[in-house]
């Protein structure tokens, strides 16, 4: 029974995270998957997230776990968590020999890695069970940690063996055999991870023994893991194997996270790359595309915390912010030459990511899962990638982290390029539209905002108001390059990110914005918020038409009450008057319209 549930869950998770299964595999490196699932169940049963509608429980659980784990690794002692959670039981499950043998980098396995799972997911058997309401077994720690002796040594050995074996068996499949030599612990880790990736999700028809857990490398503690990751990055640079994390930053928390994500991403890339060479398995890397993620940026996090707070509470805050971000799930976007590639089925070659061709504009972005579609209109990775690609660079690799401090001072380099505040003066015309071409308005106000002085006397926001919200919501944008272009350090821009799952930051409307809103409503009426948005706030990504509607609502209210009762940045009476006027006018229009239609119906 449990196996079934596990399978279902696994399939579900896989389905949810698509091909980035690795992320989980890696993040849970030291844990038994059984543990993960058990915990998921636990959380589900506890209904912790049950109130979160629209989000699949399983999904939430998975991400919760992910976030939680990340957090625990950071907050808890070196060995505690990982060690205690090592789940030897996992190993007990049978391993499909085929899976064992297949090399993750082998096109076949890469290629097929998805199918089996899909099969599993499509399996009426699994789903029917799920639908039938099969309940997860009682949460017994039965077959996990408690029972099985946690023999790290054994596990370690097993792991090594797997690695070695894998290398031996698949030397030809290794992209860089040397890089994965027996002496490279890091490489081993990589390999084993891949192994898991390729093998775990595999489900062969009729193979009841399919399991996700075995062969999981066990990290003795977070520190080791961390170290290895770093080492790995260095090595990667050497071998052109993947990500390089060039910077060590302040919080280990962040660094850890960054490394992990970075690592995972590069992994995904690798996987895709290897899949691309399906046709000629014999050739080492002829048709492979090697991609290297130069750096990975942690999304911007907004943290407000009193100066008197303890460092511990700060850590916690950061953790929470990250958890919130991860909570909604991740989605990886790929953009070639600034153009987002939406067709996941397209091959790399078809997409223009092929060997021998220098790819200068390959970007990866991590974004909240649901966001990907939202901005179809004016969107595109363009904002995320292009615009800023020339603005910032390597240099700011540090930025994101630097900006995290609970200070009230906004990150400096982060957003300058688009910090303009609404400027009425800018539109000489009658329309106070805030749409300026280059200033997108979208970002949070910056202290240095050049446009700050216009009609609105005061800055429209306080320094605390870092913008975290950005429609693009892309958490990270990375410039990738072909290995060949290694020497060239691509620019990477920092785009603010919207902490997923977190309430949007409050951004009071500036007088200029109010002006623009009033003007637009005067023109369009009170029932066409989308038009109002497009007309006057098209470039203000953080203002949705709902926001505008809400603002109008409050404006009407504000205008209706005594000035003494008003709060916040005072809105010129003149504007308030216009608000009431427009409100009355359009209400009247609407009434007239309604009468007309009624009349029509009667006749």
Partner DNA sequence: GTTAGGG
Partner DNA sequence: CCCTAAC
Asked whether 370 and 329 are in contact (CB, 8 A), the reply is yes
What does the alpha-carbon distance between residue 426 and residue 452 come to, in Å, rounded to a whole number? 12
Q: Considering the rule CB under 7 A, would residue 553 count as an interface residue with DNA?
A: yes
Residue 33 dihedral angles phi and psi, to the nearest 5°: -65, -25
Distance in Å, CB of 333 to DNA, minimum:
16
Looking at residues 484 to 523 of the shown chain, list those that interact with DNA (rule: CB under 7 A).
503-507
Q: Is the CB of 2 or the CB of 370 nearer to DNA?
A: 370
Q: Is 567 in the site for DNA (CB under 7 A)?
A: no
Distance, in Å, from the CA atom of 508 to the CA atom of 517, rounded to the nearest integer, reads 13
Candidate residues 150, 527, 572, 585; the one interacting with DNA per rule CB under 7 A? 527
> Between 193 and 222, how does the x/- string for binding to DNA read (CB under 7 A)?
------------------------------
Cα angle 388, 266, 338; round to 5:
30
Q: Taking the complex as a whole, how short is the minimal distance between the CB of residue 412 and DNA, in angstroms? A: 22
Q: Which of residues 326-385 bind DNA (CB under 7 A)?
A: 373-374, 376
User: Which helix (H) or strand (E) element contains residue 364?
Assistant: strand 362-368
Q: Which spans in 134-173 are helix H? A: 152-169
Listed ranges 88-96, 169-177, 335-343, 547-555: which one lies at the site for DNA (CB under 7 A): 547-555
Q: Would you say 112 and 197 are in contact if contact means Cβ atoms under 8 Å apart?
A: no
Which residue from 305, 528, 569, 575 is in contact with DNA, where contact means CB under 7 A? 528
User: Restricting to residues 28-87, which ones interact with DNA according to CB under 7 A?
Assistant: 53-54
* Burial environment of residue 91 by CB neighbours within 10 A (0 to 12, 13 to 18, 19 or more): buried
Question: Over the range 154-192, which residues count as b (16 or more CB within 10 Å of their CB) and which as e?
Answer: ebeebbeebbeebbeebeebbbbeebbeeebbbbbbbbb
* CB 441 within 8 Å of CB 383: no
Answer yes or no: are the C-beta atoms of 227 and 171 closer than 8 Å. Answer: no
Query: Nearer to DNA by C-beta: 171 or 374?
Result: 374
Binding residues among 440-479 for DNA as defined by CB under 7 A? 469
Q: How far is CA 52 from the centre of its chain?
A: 18
Q: Which element (helix H / strand E) includes 58?
A: helix 57-75
Q: Which is nearer to DNA, 52 or 185 (CB)?
A: 52
**Nearer to DNA (CB atom), residue 452 or residue 547:** 547
Which of 34-42, 514-522, 526-534, 574-582 is the region at the interface with DNA (rule: CB under 7 A)? 526-534
**Which position among 277, 529, 536, 541 is part of the footprint of DNA (CB under 7 A)?**
529
Q: Edge-to-edge, what's the strand order for the sheet holding 291-293? A: 291-293, 476-482, 362-368, 330-336, 339-341
Work out which of 248, 550, 577, 598 binds DNA, going by CB under 7 A.
550
When binding is defined by CB under 7 A, the residue of 12, 277, 542, 578 that contacts DNA is 542
CB of 374 to DNA, least distance (A): 6
Distance of CA 235 to the CA centre of its chain: 26
How many residues sit close enough to DNA to count as binding (CB under 7 A)? 26
Q: Does 530 bind DNA (CB under 7 A)?
A: yes
Tokens of 179: 């890089």
Q: How far is the CB of 325 from DNA (least distance, A)?
A: 14
Residue 426 or 468: which CB sits closer to DNA?
468
User: Segment near DNA (CB under 7 A), from 309-317, 340-348, 397-405, 550-558?
Assistant: 550-558
Nearer to DNA, 273 or 520 (CB): 520
Q: Which residues contact 119 (CB under 8 A, 6 or more apart)?
A: 203, 205
Nearest to DNA of 192, 558 (CB atom): 558
Contact 57, 5 (CB under 8 A): no
Kindly state the tokens that stand for 282. Answer: 């014999």
Contacting positions for DNA (CB under 7 A): 53-54, 373-374, 376, 469, 503-507, 526-531, 542-543, 545-547, 549-550, 553-554
């Amino acid at each position: 029974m449990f196996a079934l549930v596990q399978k279902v869950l696994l399939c579900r998770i896989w389905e949810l995270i698509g091909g980035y299964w690795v992320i989980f595999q890696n993040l849970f490196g030291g844990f038994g998957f059984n543990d993960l699932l058990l915990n998921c169940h636990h959380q589900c049963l506890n209904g912790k997230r049950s109130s979160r509608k629209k989000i699949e429980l399983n999904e939430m659980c998975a991400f919760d776990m992910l976030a939680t784990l990340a957090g625990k690794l950071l907050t808890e002692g070196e060995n505690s968590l990982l060690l205690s959670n090592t789940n030897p039981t996992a190993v007990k499950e049978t391993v499909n020999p085929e899976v064992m043998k297949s090399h993750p980098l082998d096109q076949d396995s890469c290629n097929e890695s998805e199918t089996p799972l899909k099969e599993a997911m499509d399996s009426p058997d699994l789903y029917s069970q799920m639908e039938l309401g099969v309940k997860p077994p009682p949460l017994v720690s039965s077959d996990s940690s408690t029972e099985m002796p946690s023999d790290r040594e054994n596990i370690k050995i097993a792991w090594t063996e797997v690695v070695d074996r894998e290398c031996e068996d698949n030397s030809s499949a290794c992209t860089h055999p040397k890089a994965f030599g027996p002496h490279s612990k890091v490489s081993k880790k990589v390999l084993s991870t891949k192994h898991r990736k390729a093998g775990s999700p595999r489900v062969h028809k009729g193979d009841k023994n399919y399991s996700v857990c075995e062969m999981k490398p066990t990290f003795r503690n977070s520190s080791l893991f961390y170290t290895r990751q770093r080492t790995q990055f260095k090595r990667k640079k050497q071998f052109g194997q993947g990500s390089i994390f060039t910077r060590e930053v302040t919080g280990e928390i962040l660094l850890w996270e960054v490394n992990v994500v970075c690592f995972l991403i590069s992994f995904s890339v690798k996987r895709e790359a290897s899949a691309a060479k399906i046709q000629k398995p014999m050739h080492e890397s002829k048709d492979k595309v090697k991609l290297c993620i130069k750096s990975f940026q942690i999304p911007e996090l907004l943290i407000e915390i009193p100066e008197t707070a303890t460092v511990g509470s700060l850590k916690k805050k950061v953790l929470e912010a990250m958890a919130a971000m991860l909570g909604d799930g991740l989605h990886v976007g790929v953009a070639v030459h600034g153009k987002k590639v939406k067709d996941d089925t397209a091959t790399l070659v078809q997409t223009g990511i092929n060997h021998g061709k220098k790819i200068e504009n390959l970007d990866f972005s991590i974004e909240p899962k649901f966001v990907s579609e939202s901005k179809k209109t004016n969107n595109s990775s363009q904002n995320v990638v292009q615009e800023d690609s020339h603005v910032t660079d390597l240099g700011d690799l540090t930025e994101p982290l630097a900006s995290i401090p609970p200070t009230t001072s906004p990150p400096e380099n982060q957003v300058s390029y688009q910090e303009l505040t609404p400027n009425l003066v800018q539109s000489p015309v009658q329309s106070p539209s805030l749409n300026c071409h280059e200033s997108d308005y979208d970002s949070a106000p910056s202290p240095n905002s050049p446009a700050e002085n216009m009609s609105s006397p005061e800055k429209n926001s306080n320094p605390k108001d870092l913008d975290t919200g950005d429609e693009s919501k892309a958490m990270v944008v990375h410039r990738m390059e072909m290995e060949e272009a290694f020497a060239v350090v691509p620019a990477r821009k920092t785009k603010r990110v919207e902490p997923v799952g977190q309430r949007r930051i409050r951004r009071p409307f500036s007088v200029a914005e109010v002006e623009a809103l009033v003007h637009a409503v005067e023109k369009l009426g009170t029932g066409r918020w989308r038009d109002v948005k497009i007309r006057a706030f098209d470039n203000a990504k953080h203002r949705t038409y709902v926001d505008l509607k809400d603002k109008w609502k409050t404006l009407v209210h504000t205008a209706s009450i005594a000035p003494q009762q008003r709060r916040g940045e005072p809105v010129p009476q003149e504007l308030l008057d216009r608000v009431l006027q427009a409100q009355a006018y359009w209400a009247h229009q609407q009434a007239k319209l309604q009468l007309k239609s009624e009349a029509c119906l009667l006749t």
